[in-house]
Amino acid sequence: MSAVSVLHQASLRELNTFGFDVIADTLVTIENVDQLAQLMQQLKTDPQPLLILGGGSNLVLADRIPGVVARMAIKRWQPQIDGDDILLWAGAGENWHQTVERTLEQGWYGLENLALIPGTVGAAPVQNIGAYGVELKDRINRVEVFDCQQECLKQLSLDDCRFAYRDSLFKSVEPGRYVITAVELKLSRKADVQVGYAALQAELHGQSTPTPEQVFDAVCRVRRQKLPDPAQLGNAGSFFKNPVVSAEHCQQLRQQEADLVAHADPSGGCKLAAGWLIDRCGLKGYRMGSVGTYPQQALVLVNWGGGDRAAVEQLAEYIRRKVVERFGVELEPEPRFYP
């Protein structure tokens, strides 16, 4: 077994997409399942807090991270082809967007709407990533995990994972119990494109049956126009979840705001566009010191330089209060605050 790479007092500046200056007590890089098991064994004899880190694109980190940060770098690419159906095991440390690109190059379809989402394959099930009407749960068969409670490797079925809107077993039911080591994706050589979102339709100029490659290109173009590239401007994507309110509350809001952006939710209520609510409070492009909301998409909080978790928390609290005052709607952050 290869030795685990260990760094002390390590900078995580390049490992969190907000670009905060963060120092981790100990940073280890995990390249295979044996190294992960070995780390878990060490933490049993010498208990310390543990953060599993992917690409750091859904995290709001404090200035100092105590204990151990384990960066997942497990690689795996293991397809099983049966006619038009493909089951593909991808390692937790694979880059998500490169995985999407690589499947399309093979003519294996299904992930095109999920293009350009930063981060790793292993983190994708944590919040059941979604975009443009497709969620990971629609494209997944099983998840391989290391169960930290039972100290063994396991495979979890789709039902076991308890996927919900930007949520899962890993995020809210039993956070910290499982480390995802690989994900089995369910793909097909037959195209079944999802182009229901207006922004995507507009980019495809009303084309009714685009190819998955065209959908991929359109998603990339729309995202590049609307979202900041973390390599240029620190951010963690959508900062708040889209809130779901009752049909009555939605009706009431519609009387107040005729152009309210709301979509039917499976619960029977309405999913409001959090970005629209923030925009309507006059906060699109708003700046508070080193941080602010992105001028093209108010839902994205950005670090203009020198920002930190405290600055983002202060801005988020201000936005949350303004939205409650105007609409009576509570916004809940999407990224994880650690510690």
Dihedral of the alpha carbons of 49, 24, 310, 278, in degrees to the nearest 10:
-80
Among 140, 179, 219, 250, binds ligand FAD (CB under 6 A): 179
Separation of alpha carbons 295 and 285, rounded Å: 4
Binder of residue 123, out of ligand NAP, ligand FAD, none (CB less than 5 to 8 A by kind): ligand FAD
Least gap, CB of 218 to ligand FAD (angstroms)? 14
320 annotated active-site: no
| Strand order from edge to edge, sheet including 291-294 | 234-238, 297-303, 291-294, 287-288
Q: Report strand pairing: 140-147 vs 262-264.
A: unpaired
132 binds ligand NAP (CB under 6 A): yes
Question: Which strand (E) or helix (H) includes residue 10?
Answer: strand 5-11
Asked if 63 and 339 count as a contact pair (C-beta separation under 8 A), the reply is: no
Position among 27, 92, 187, 222 found at the interface with ligand FAD (CB under 6 A): 92
- The question of whether 334 is a catalytic residue gets the answer yes
Q: Which of 250, 253, 252 is nearest to 268 (CA)?
A: 250
DSSP state of 164: B
Does position 120 interact with ligand FAD (CB under 6 A)? The reply is yes
Q: Would you call 238 a catalytic residue per the annotation?
A: yes
Q: Which of 60, 90, 131, 250 binds ligand NAP (CB under 6 A)?
A: 131
Applying CB under 6 A, the residues found at the interface with ligand FAD are 17, 51-59, 72, 92, 117-120, 122-124, 126-127, 129-131, 170, 179-180, 227, 230, 235-237, 336
Active site members = 166, 238, 334
Applying CB under 6 A, the residues found at the interface with ligand NAP are 130-132, 196-199, 226-227, 237-238, 242, 263, 273, 275, 297, 299, 334
